[in-house]
Structure 1
Amino acid sequence: MVQEKNNTGGQSRRNFLKSGAMAAAGFMIVPRHVLGGKGYTAPSDRLIVAGIGVGGKGESDIHEFSKGKADIAFLCDVDEKRAATSVKRFPKAKFYKDFREMLDKEHKNFDAVSVSTPDHNHAIQAMAAMQLGKHVYVQKPLTHDIYEARKLTEAAKKYKVVTQMGNQGSSGDGVRQLMDWYRAGIVGDVHTVHVWTNRPVWPQGIPWSDQKAEVPKTLDWNLWLGTAPYTDYVEKLVPFNWRGWWEYGTGALGDMGCHLIEPPFRVLGLGYPSDVECSVGSVYVDEFKRGYFPKSCPPSSHVTMTFKTPKGDVKMHWMDGGIQPTRPEELGPNEVMGDGGNGVIFEGSKGKMMCGTYGINPQLLPTSRTAGTKVPQTIDRVPEGHYLQWVNACIAGYGKNELSSPFEIAGPLTETILMGNLAIRSFDIQKPRADGRGFDYPGRYIKLLWDGQDMKITNFDDANQFVKRTYRQGWTLGA
């Protein structure tokens, strides 16, 4: 039986309540780790949650948690304007701008943390919470870098905390139906997977603005930058367009890959890819040259990864920027492929199957086969949904409840997705030619060989710079 970490420093329940800390923070319920001492689990307890990043998606995340046995007790956001709706919705919650200050001052007063910030700060925030023994829910992608994903995966096990990544489709019925079909042998052994998205829907493949702008009064720009190098504030980067810049975001693949690659990753039981190659879309500058903007994600890309499985190699094709695979012959001319802008197609030795984003609307091809194909249900559904599954698992305690996207699954999935980004970024590595005439691009038009265990490209060392970033001075991954 796993015992929960006691963060009260041996303080009794009576003395803790006498301290007045709960009243000062506006709490109505004592955090569950305080009640009864070390190892105590009470089914009637409620989960006390602190949110880091509570505007936009973070706002909807903590709202979903509050529908279950969770109380939102602390709110943290670098932008007071973005956080305003959450502040209004949870008036008893105490507000902070700096997550480090919140964790330092309040860690004895909550059980779990929700992280929904730009990608480049996910890892430091989640790690800091886990090292305090807090359960964590982290928006997708789990991390910005491959190295960070590996470290968070290891930390979840080390600190024995309940974890979940915010790829809601992993709790949906769709991916489970695909698993049932595959396990029943309906499509045979899958050898090829096509995954596509119409993202980005934000600017990519553009130069960084040279127009310095005034920082909004409600935004702490230095805290927003976090681990990223310092730069002057520019218009329209916040709250959304940061996704198209490598210093902060992970492009279309990082944004949508956790929703779209998750079904084949889970259905086929994939691990680390063995190799990756790619091509990227160009930006027109003038008749003599293609745009070269290595700080910005490309406007489109096609990434191909190979996975070694007991049933043979699986080739996965990722396409973004509106690029789509060839339409299957089994799909009628007026039938929608995937969900239109996004989708997944599995090609097996006996047939094909298809789904949309989050694994929704799973279908066999031709689609007329879907309704008439009945197979045993091999995996339980998640009637409470993705958010409450995590809340309930936190209340039950580490190792008690099954989760759809714990870091032991979400970590390797994120590493796989970021492998694609490593190839995309390697495509634009620029080196001066020996004769001084122009540049070469040694990362293009080659296949990168990946040692997943050691997180290393073995045939092009320059690509390994994208496995792990160097943080800005003052920021570290963990204590």
Structure 2
Amino acid sequence: MGIQNKATTGYRMATRFIRDGVIGKISKVYVWSFKDWGYDGAPYTGEDPVPDYLDWNLWLGTAPVRPFLEGKYHPGQWRRMMDFGCGTLGDMGVHIFDTPFDSLGLEPPIWVEATCREPNNFSLPTQTTVRYGFKPTALTTKDFEWTWYDGAMAPPEGPDLVLPNDEALPDQGAMFIGEKGRMLLPHIAGPRF
């Protein structure tokens, strides 16, 4: 995927540990972000004056014309809307998926199954769980599983994800479950066993 995290020491260490088989073949990867860059309400209505510093037509680009609404699209809230962003999965998933995907030598998924609120045509959900099916690689088991969680679904829970001394999982990260152990990779940090 080629994002900036790939150059960090922690991510490079995690990739080396996986490729060297430190925790054995990987049977599961859990990836998550607590962010809820979606919107589950009704379509926006109303209109606010466009600030002098903003060329609203230029900002809209190829998206359908709509009125400016203070704090609803710019700055940053565009991530929530179908015409501008791709929610937490598209915004954070690319960063958090990068190391597990790359280190395991995965190819594009052969199937995807998502659980979220009923889709609509204007906004992305605030919480999702997405399961991916990949062809096994030399570094995964044949029954390899990959699951993403975001919003209120994150961090995930379950026996694979219990840390020593009742420590909480980080708000964002990945957990590799291997035949010989597990490795936690908090987002923007080094791996932990």
1:307 aligned to 2:130? no
The one-letter amino acid of 2:16's match is D
Q: What is the number of residues matched between the two proteins?
A: 187
| Distance across 2 between alignment mates of 1:213 and 1:329 | 46
Q: Partner of 1:221 in structure 2?
A: 56
| Distance across 2 between alignment mates of 1:318 and 1:187 | 21
Shift, 1:327, TM fit: 4.8
Q: Partner of 1:193 in structure 2?
A: 29
Asked whether the 8 Å contact 2:38–2:87 carries over to 1, the reply is no
Shift, 1:293, TM fit: 4.2
Identity across aligned pairs (percent)?
A: 33
Of residues 13, 17, 20, the one that matches 1:184 is 20
The one-letter amino acid of 1:299's match is T
The one-letter amino acid of 2:55's match is D
Asked whether the 8 Å contact 2:15–2:100 carries over to 1, the reply is no
| Distance across 1 between alignment mates of 2:151 and 2:131 | 15
Structure 2 gaps of 5+ residues are none
Shift, 1:294, TM fit: 3.3
Deviations 1:129-169 (A, max 9, x none): xxxxxxxxxxxxx9xxxxxxxxxxxxxxxxxxxxxx6x321
Of residues 147, 155, 164, the one that matches 1:332 is 164
Shift, 1:314, TM fit: 2.8
Root mean square deviation, CA, Å: 2.0
| Distance across 1 between alignment mates of 2:159 and 2:171 | 13
Q: Partner of 1:354 in structure 2?
A: 184
The one-letter amino acid of 2:96's match is L
Matches within 5 A, 1:52-451: 167-200=3-36, 202=37, 204-236=39-71, 237-281=73-117, 293-311=120-138, 312-323=142-153, 324-325=155-156, 326-328=158-160, 331-337=163-169, 340-358=170-188, 360-364=189-193
Asked whether the 8 Å contact 2:172–2:187 carries over to 1, the reply is yes
More relative contact order in 1 or in 2 (CA 8 Å, sep 6+)?
2
Structure 1 pair 329–273 and aligned structure 2 pair: CA distance change class (3 A): closer
Asked whether the 8 Å contact 1:322–1:341 carries over to 2, the reply is no
More helix by share: 1
| Distance across 2 between alignment mates of 1:266 and 1:313 | 19
Shift, 1:310, TM fit: 3.0
Asked whether the 8 Å contact 2:82–2:123 carries over to 1, the reply is yes
Asked whether the 8 Å contact 2:18–2:103 carries over to 1, the reply is yes
Q: Which structure has the bigger radius of gyration? A: 1
Structure 1 pair 330–187 and aligned structure 2 pair: CA distance change class (3 A): farther
| Distance across 2 between alignment mates of 1:309 and 1:196 | 21
Shift, 1:329, TM fit: 6.5
Asked whether the 8 Å contact 1:307–1:313 carries over to 2, the reply is no
Asked whether the 8 Å contact 2:38–2:127 carries over to 1, the reply is no
Runs of 4+ in 1 over 4 A off after TM superposition: none
Shift, 1:313, TM fit: 4.7
Structure 1 pair 238–278 and aligned structure 2 pair: CA distance change class (3 A): same
Structure 1 pair 232–348 and aligned structure 2 pair: CA distance change class (3 A): same
Q: SS at 2:91's partner residue?
A: helix
The one-letter amino acid of 2:137's match is P
| Distance across 1 between alignment mates of 2:84 and 2:49 | 20
| Distance across 1 between alignment mates of 2:182 and 2:26 | 8
The one-letter amino acid of 1:253's match is L
TM-score by length of 2: 0.88
Structure 1 pair 327–172 and aligned structure 2 pair: CA distance change class (3 A): farther
The one-letter amino acid of 1:361's match is G
| Distance across 1 between alignment mates of 2:146 and 2:11 | 17
TM-score by length of 1: 0.37
Asked whether the 8 Å contact 2:25–2:179 carries over to 1, the reply is yes
Q: SS at 1:261's partner residue?
A: helix
| Distance across 1 between alignment mates of 2:13 and 2:162 | 20
| Distance across 1 between alignment mates of 2:162 and 2:38 | 35
Shift, 1:271, TM fit: 1.2
Asked whether the 8 Å contact 1:206–1:293 carries over to 2, the reply is no
